[in-house]
Chains A and B, each alone.
Chain A
């Protein structure tokens, strides 16, 4: 009998592993599609709530993510000194156009130290004024969101919970990116 203990334990472990695998595989049908142009998108494991830290808009008024409750929001951190950010910004502007503003909002936050002084001319110069001015020149919101790399884009669901984030440039108006965001828009509210 003693001889059987070890093999039995082994069997149980293997079965448990298979069960666990099958269970996670089942739940993955509910996971947002992350592939192709957005394959570097990392899904958040715990769906943390967005921080309450405010940033400022072009007029100096405070804004919070809570102001966008009910919409799916893509927060994008950028700066005029960041080449990959500059690269992806036109695709962000096209993404904004592609999705209904009643369902989706794009918040592109500049972390330029000089704030509006450099960010506004940059947007004008590059025909990106549609993105709007969102300024975090002290980087406090970026830090609160755990952002240390530029560009970083964080996707929040309608309840203001983080779906996941992507560090680096991406084609945000690609079919893959649209599929990801539409999935979150169409997902039934949790709980």
Chain B
């Protein structure tokens, strides 16, 4: 036993050494890590050798928590990384590129940079194309936390002639895609930047727009020497598609030139999207009115919350609760009061939970708006099922008494009623999330653009606003007790409310329609209709019918997740041929149009392009046209021919799409991120109006 131990250790050691030895060749496209006290840094290459006249490198940092390195403009303090290439062989000019920065506060100073991990992509020219290169980098950088430590490290990397794509290509590409480019990018754009007077202060006003909704937009402004631009104050439009940012302007005592007429570089960052634009500053009109005061925002939140109650998705909840009191006959005032208070508490608690989730997600770098959970088809199916069954119940299609969290919880029981009443408030709030109400958007946009404190305050105000009717009844229970005695009028009201709910259900199905296609939506609708029918037919055999209805509803809820892949499988897909560059001139000579798509399994942007543009809508339809030849080059595994093809088009990463046609025998390259209109227009241009001619 004892003698076994050293042997075991030795075999472990051997295994480790073996693994290390085996790992060496794979790491050939990167330098060893240079370890410094607060992290480590290395040089990585996208290819395992030099294939063309360009060498794609990356300076890969991994930092200990809390330590920052700086962007090209460090903000109020800091130094950017600089690299010297002395001693390198077969190396021409090199450009360091900067992924979008983050804003950090160190000792009250605003700084811009990176934490945890970053790759600074480097575009380098090979002095002699395709020949071996030796890269020696002297990297100077500053890292700061509570203290600042300047470092100089030396990294070296040998690249042989030729060679395939290396294991770090994806890493470099990932960060290269975060380098801001001239906009608009993915719908993100700087509309304008101008100097406005805000009271007596001069501020820089940036107007930014996006086709999606803004998450947490920030701008970084690099201006003429002597000027500094502070942390922006942000206002979002109701739809969160337009942002007004006001940056305080600080100028040093000695400034070389006036700000007006000076060019500034505005970098707009929202999540992982970033654009960069150089703008000459002029005087503009302040959009200060976009900035709400906290009090006004709170007022709007109260009002918006209150109005949520009369929106179709929530109105039935409040009404049912009122009716349930009537139905129960004479109730003690104390019970009514406690029941409504419990529901109000449920509403406010749910809003607080939403605010906490929102703040937590934002702290984690994510952001979500009102009703973002509506991107989940399962959630929508659940809501549709609940709403439809609720409506069926209101029409008296089945006698199963609803659980108290739906029905309102009259609070007739000593404690169970209270829980039910509380859950009724939770239910009402969840039902409200798909709805919008007047003023709600404004208040939520304000909350999204502010700190955690304001976000919490706005959501609490929304909750109080929505709970106001319940609180009113709790204060004056006599109001409810004065409602007319139960009678025919109640059946009528219930029917009307049921109709409203059905409308909400249809609206939910329409969202589902756009998400999972008509098959999925129809399946959900059919299953729900069936379960309602079952309930109404089996009114007498209640238990059996209820069980059946529950099963069908469950199936309806699951349907979208099942049909989504199914729909994709059955969707007609244009057949893609394997990429054959030699065949292209012949095909073009025959008058055909060739669409080339270079893709790979590891290429996320390619998948985005496929999902958003190539495989859907007008582009997918057009690509089905027999006059178009679709060629796909799969770069998942290294392929010299594809690498060479890319290099000849001055591309070193994918996605890469080119359209050849009679009007463009040499091909028209598309931007990396495809847009439907550009793809259609480019195919038109290359083919000489294929679309117009064909239809």
Residue positions of A touching B, CB distance < 8 A: 79-87, 121, 124-125, 148-151, 167-169
Contacts and interface: CB of A to CB of B under 8 A. Distances in A.
Contacts, number: 56
B interface: dominant SS: loop
A86 B108 CA distance: 10
B107 A149 contact: no
Given A86-B77, A125-B252, A169 B107 contact: yes
Nearest to A167: B147
A124 B253 CA distance: 9
16 contacts: A81-B74, A81-B78, A83-B76, A83-B77, A83-B78, A83-B111, A83-B148, A84-B144, A84-B148, A85-B148, A86-B107, A87-B109, A124-B253, A148-B150, A151-B147, A169-B147
A166 to B, nearest CB: 10
A81 B79 CA distance: 6
A150 B111 contact: no
Interface string B252-274: 11100000000000000000000
A80 B79 CA distance: 9
B144 A83 contact: yes
B452 interface: no
* Count class of interface residues, chain B: 20 to 34
Contacts of B142: 81
Contacts of A167: 147
A39 to B, nearest CB: 14
Contact of B150 (A84, A150, A151, A169): A150
A125 B111 CA distance: 19
A125 B250 CA distance: 12
Interface in B190-226: none
Contacts of A80: 77
B146 interface: yes
B107 A121 contact: no
A82 B79 CA distance: 8
B612 to A, nearest CB: 42
A98 B149 CA distance: 30
Interface in B138-188: 142, 144, 146-150
Contacts of B74: 81
A150 B149 contact: yes
Contact of A82 (B144, B253, B254): B144
A168 B144 contact: no
A87 B149 contact: no
Contacts of A81: 74, 77-79, 142, 148
Nearest to A79: B148
B106 interface: yes
Given A81-B79, A81-B148, A87 B254 contact: no
B253 A84 contact: no
A10 B79 CA distance: 57
A171 to B, nearest CB: 12
Contact of A168 (B77, B109, B146): B146
A148 B152 CA distance: 11
B110 to A, nearest CB: 9
A121 B252 contact: yes
A121 B78 contact: no
A125 to B, nearest CB: 5
